[in-house]
Amino acid sequence: MTTYEAVIGLEVHVQLATRSKLFCSCSTEFGCPPNENVCEVCAAMPGALPILNRQAVRFAALVGLALDCRINSPSLFARKNYFYPDLPPGYQISQFELPLCEGGHVDIPGDGGGVKRVGITRIHMENDAGKNIHLPERGCSHVDLNRAGTPLVEIVSEPDMGSADEAVAYLRTLYGVVTYLGVCDGNMEEGSFRCDANVSVRPVGESRLGTRTELKNLNSFRNVHRAIEFEILRQRDLCEDGGTVVQETRLYDVVRNVTTSMRSKEEAHDYRYFPDPDLLPVIVPEGELEELRASLPEMPQARLGRFATLTGLPVADLEVLVQSRALADFFEKAAGLADPRKVANMMLGPLMRECHATGAKTGDPASWAMTPEAVAQLVGLVDKGTISAKIANDIFPELFRSGEMPESHVAAKGLGQISDAGALERAVDAVIAANASEVEAYRGGKRKVLSFLVGQVMRQTQGKANPAIVNELFARKLGDPS
């Protein structure tokens, strides 16, 4: 029987985090009352002329540079003609023959366990459409043009991915890049980062591509994974049953977890692209490109590698810490003030646990009460023996919620570890006196009993006794067991 392999390429739409739109000065703010951010350009009044947003070009070029693309100068804007009520001009302004960026790549964790290189075909700039709002109960539809003209880049990959896992790994890597660059707010629920997937299957060993289908508007990593997985199985079953895949656009139904046909190739648009006569070719001067290249921040994968060296912890454990640039910055700040490995462990353990318990966003430390200085101070208090690791763990939830500095909290609550040898000696003597038979057993060679005796001292001191000193005292008083 023939075995089939999947071939996947992705088209990712990234909304650029500029304050104004691509061709006018209207605000890009999300969630405003309908049609509040609309001018003659957004509404395509006759004679209104587009003026290109310089910041949007800089953001798009940054994405290209971060993905090792060639930046075309000049690049050209073209009209993509189609009719839809939320598109007043009757065309979208996009780039066709000469996009801003071409020929880059992204390295992702591949299915085989190694690193897989996914090619970037092109990155072009375009403006978003508005939104139709259908009100069936009132028998009418409304058009909201707030989103019309919002700047996007479309990142088109080569068909280099072979599974839903690889597609999601690629998307996550890309997401990390655009959010680290600060060119996209990364809000997937609001559609700031969404993708279309081109999926086909072919017999293993075949070099020609099979007929592909396009899955439209997937807006979460989970949906991308499920939609692609479903589509691969559907096509494979179809081929195995002797059928043929039809080239078409399909929609993913989240509730039923299936893809359904939206339109076939016969209904596909002919967009009649042509260069937009209202817009000049875009030139990015070499000097500005150099300045952008020099401003590229360290990307998540590079940062991850550095954190692994810094802490001696495995890369897989540390991935959580580079999920956002802000969280990686938070770690780096705390790790500069205390033992990096202990800081990492505190963030991966108690801190992440508290985020989940309180519903705080793990990637958004600015929204927490706790500061990097507090994390470092808490690690320091344990390191210096001021409090035990257990106490640190116990008070963590309170510190996380209140934002109080650990030192003042420990002092106010009297949680400091008892390291005073005199006080501890009295406690040790009392435990020895009260547990004659255990002491006997220990002296007779049962070393395990020691932890029971130490535990008794800890109990008497509500966990505040310095365990190292207690152990030392017992060793001195009881001697080495025979």
Q: How many CB atoms lie within 10 A of CB 330?
A: 24
Smaller CB separation from Zn ion, 42 or 93: 42
The 244-283 contact track toward Zn ion, x by CB under 5 A, reads: ----------------------------------------
Smaller CB separation from Zn ion, 130 or 350: 130
Q: Residue 75: enclosing H or E segment and its boundaries?
A: none
The 5-24 contact track toward Zn ion, x by CB under 5 A, reads: -------------------x
Minimum separation from the CB atom of position 19 to Zn ion (A):
13
Instruction: Based on the shown chain and the rule CB under 5 A, indicate whether residue 41 belongs to the binding site for Zn ion.
Output: yes
Distance CA 90, CA 112 (A): 46
Minimum separation from the CB atom of position 40 to Zn ion (A):
7
Instruction: Based on the shown chain and the rule CB under 5 A, indicate whether residue 218 belongs to the binding site for Zn ion.
Output: no
Minimum separation from the CB atom of position 272 to Zn ion (A):
25
Smaller CB separation from Zn ion, 42 or 66: 42
Instruction: Based on the shown chain and the rule CB under 5 A, indicate whether residue 381 belongs to the binding site for Zn ion.
Output: no
Distance CA 338, CA 324 (A): 21
For residue 319 the two structure tokens come to: 């991935």
Instruction: Based on the shown chain and the rule CB under 5 A, indicate whether residue 428 belongs to the binding site for Zn ion.
Output: no
Distance CA 77, CA 81 (A): 13
Minimum separation from the CB atom of position 289 to Zn ion (A):
28
Q: Which stretch binds Zn ion (CB under 5 A): 8-16, 40-48, 216-224, 311-319?
A: 40-48
Distance CA 158, CA 102 (A): 11
Instruction: Based on the shown chain and the rule CB under 5 A, indicate whether residue 129 belongs to the binding site for Zn ion.
Output: no
Q: 246: which DSSP letter?
A: P
Sequence-distant (6+) residues with CB within 8 A of 464 are 387, 388, 391, 415, 416, 417, 418
Q: How many CB atoms lie within 10 A of CB 107?
A: 14
Minimum separation from the CB atom of position 148 to Zn ion (A):
8
Instruction: Based on the shown chain and the rule CB under 5 A, indicate whether residue 43 belongs to the binding site for Zn ion.
Output: no
Instruction: Based on the shown chain and the rule CB under 5 A, indicate whether residue 178 belongs to the binding site for Zn ion.
Output: no
DSSP letters spanning 84-99: -TT-TTSEEEE--SS-
Q: What is the footprint of Zn ion within residues 106-125 (CB under 5 A)? A: none
Distance CA 353, CA 399 (A): 13
Minimum separation from the CB atom of position 13 to Zn ion (A):
20
Q: What is the footprint of Zn ion within residues 345-364 (CB under 5 A)? A: none
Determine the size of the site formed for Zn ion (CB under 5 A). Answer: 5
Given 6, 14, 42, 292, the residue binding Zn ion (CB under 5 A): 42
Buried b (16+ CB within 10 A) or exposed e, 367-400: ebebebebbbbbbbbbeeebbbeebbbebbeebb
Q: Which stretch binds Zn ion (CB under 5 A): 39-47, 166-174, 211-219, 401-409?
A: 39-47
- Tell me phi and psi for residue 199, to 5 degrees: -125, 135
Instruction: Based on the shown chain and the rule CB under 5 A, indicate whether residue 224 belongs to the binding site for Zn ion.
Output: no
Instruction: Based on the shown chain and the rule CB under 5 A, indicate whether residue 39 belongs to the binding site for Zn ion.
Output: yes
SS3 (DSSP) at 149: coil
Binding footprint of Zn ion on the chain (CB under 5 A): 24, 26, 39, 41-42
